[in-house]
Structure 1
Amino acid sequence: MSKTILITGASRGFGKLWAEAFLKRGDRVAATARDLNALNDLVEKYGDAILPIQLDVNDHDACFAAVNKVKEKFGTIDVVINNAGYGLFGAIEETTEEQARNQMETNFFGVLWITQAVLPIMREQKSGHIIQVSSFLGLITLPILGLYNASKFAVEGFSETLATEVKGFGINITLVEPNGFSTDWSGASANQTTPKEIYAPLKKAFMEAATPDSWGKPEATVDPILKIVDSENPPLRVLFGKVAYPAVKQVYEQRLASFEEWKEVSAAAHG
C-alpha cells in the first residue's frame, strides 16, 4: 500500500536519494528544498506524485504552512523524514554567536517545528511515523564539530521524550544515526568557523584520522530506509554505517565504567 511521505532537505544527499526511491516504488512524496530547481528532474519524471515545496526550515510559520499544503494535496501524511540540516566545522572557541544560533535553528528548531506541525494530523489519523535524521554524533562526540554535536544531542533528547508522549496515539518515532557518508555534508553543505592557529594541529589530526573507508556510500542507505519506513514496529534508534556501531559501543562502555567507578560518590551526593 502506497504511503504519503514528507521529506525535508530533499534537494540533494540522503533527501533526494530517498525521495526518488519512494517515488519509484509508487509512494506520494512532498519534498522540501530551499531551491525548487533542484527538484525539477523529479517533477518531470514523477508528475503529480511529487509535491515540491520551497521551505527554509528556520521559518516557524513556513514549516506549519508546508505541512498544511501536504495535507491539502494528499489528504494524509503517513511518514515525515526530517532530513534538512548541515554541519558547522570549527572549534567551539572559534564559533560566533550567529554561527551557533544558525546551527541550532536549522538542525534542532527546524526539526521541532515540522514535528509539531505534523503531530495533530497524525493524532487525528491515529497513525504516523516521524523519522529524525540525527547522527551518531548525537550519541558521542568528535572534536571540531561541537555545535553540530550539540544540535544532534538536542534532537536525540526531544525525540526520545516525544516517543513516550505519542506512542499511545499510534505514532512511532525513529532516530536514524548515520556516521560519515560521501554526501556533500562536509563539502558544499558545510559551514566553517574562522580558524585560530592554536587549533590547527587538532584539525590536522582530525582530518587525517578519516580514511576513504570511513565514509559510507549514500546509495547503500536506500534499502535500509525503505525497510524502516515499512516496519510495523520500527526502532527508536538505528545506526547507519559500519563506523557508528563500534564507535558508540566503545564510548558507552567507557561511560558505564566511569559511572561504576564513581558510584559511591554518586550515592553520597543523594544525601
Structure 2
Amino acid sequence: MKHLDLTGSTTVITGAANGMGADIARLLAGRGTHLALIDHDAAALATIAAELTDAHVTTHVVDLRDDDAVFAAAASIAEGHPRINALITCAGSSMLGDIDQLTMEEMRWLTDVNLWGTVSITKALLPALRAAPAAHITHLASVYALAAPAGRIPYAVSKFAVRAFSEALRHELEGTSVSVGAVYPAGVRTGIILHGRYAAAIDP
C-alpha cells in the first residue's frame, strides 16, 4: 500500500458534531488536514467548525438515512475538495430496550442510521477516494460488533453488520489504492446514551 499523508488533503468525517467524530476533527485540524464535516445537527456542527479556525473546513448538514441527500453531499464535497484521501464514519446512535419492548420500526431506524448510513456515504465517496494515489476508509464499529449484550439487540446487529461490510469491502478493494479498516471501541464517554433513543415501551 502506498504511503498515506493526510497533510494538505481532505478527510471526510461523519458524526463530526459530537463525540469521537468531533475529537478526530480537532486532532486532524491540528495536523494540517483539510476537513469536510458531516452531521445532522446543524447547530452543533457549526460550533465544532468554529473551533477549527486554523483548518480549511466545510460543513454539510445531512441525514445519512436519506440516500439522495448523502449522494448530493458527496458530490458537493468532491467538487469543493479535489483531493480526498480519507473517510472516517463516526455517525451512529443507540437504542436501548429488550426484544419485548422494541418495535420493528425502532430497530429499523437504528439500522438505517448505523449501518445503511455508513454504507451510503462510503459508496457515494468511493469514486473520489479511488481517484487519490492512496486513500483509507475507517468505519467506527463498536466492541458490540464482537460481542452482543442483552438489551442492545438493534445496536449490536447494526454494528456486527458494519464489521461485515468493512471486511467485505476491504477484500473487494484489495489491489487498489484504497484500504479499509474498522475500529472497535469499548466504553467511551461520548454522550451516545444521552443522545440516543429508548424503546417507547420502556417506563421513563
TM over 0.5: yes
C-alpha contact 2:141 2:162 (8 A) present in aligned 1: yes
Q: Which has the higher contact order (CA 8 A, sep 6+)?
A: 2
- For these two proteins, the number of residue pairs brought into alignment is 196
| Aligned counterparts of 2:53 and 2:165: Cα–Cα separation in 1 | 35
Partner of 1:36: 42
Identity of aligned residues (%): 30
C-alpha contact 2:38 2:60 (8 A) present in aligned 1: yes
- Give the letter aligned to residue 78 of structure 2: K
Q: Indicate the structure (1 or 2) with the bigger Cα radius of gyration.
A: 1
Structure with greater helix share of residues: 1
1:160 maps onto 2:172 in alignment: no
Partner of 2:70: 63
| Aligned counterparts of 1:47 and 1:34: Cα–Cα separation in 2 | 24
C-alpha contact 1:42 1:50 (8 A) present in aligned 2: no
Question: Where in structure 1 do 4 or more consecutive aligned residues deviate above 4 Å?
Answer: none
Structure 2: state its 5+ residue gaps.
1-6
1:195 CA drift (Å):
4.3
Structure 1 residues 164-213: Cα deviation after superposition (integer angstroms, max 9, x where no partner): 001211211110111111111111x211013468xxxxxxxxxxxxxxxx
1:57 CA drift (Å):
0.5
C-alpha contact 1:7 1:81 (8 A) present in aligned 2: yes
| Aligned counterparts of 2:127 and 2:42: Cα–Cα separation in 1 | 27
Structure 1: state its 5+ residue gaps.
198-271
C-alpha contact 1:85 1:106 (8 A) present in aligned 2: yes
| Aligned counterparts of 2:54 and 2:65: Cα–Cα separation in 1 | 28
C-alpha contact 2:94 2:196 (8 A) present in aligned 1: yes
Partner of 1:5: 11
- Give the letter aligned to residue 149 of structure 1: A
| Aligned counterparts of 1:193 and 1:170: Cα–Cα separation in 2 | 42
After TM superposition, the score normalised by the length of structure 2 is 0.90
Structure 1 residues 91-114: Cα deviation after superposition (integer angstroms, max 9, x where no partner): 022111210110110000000001
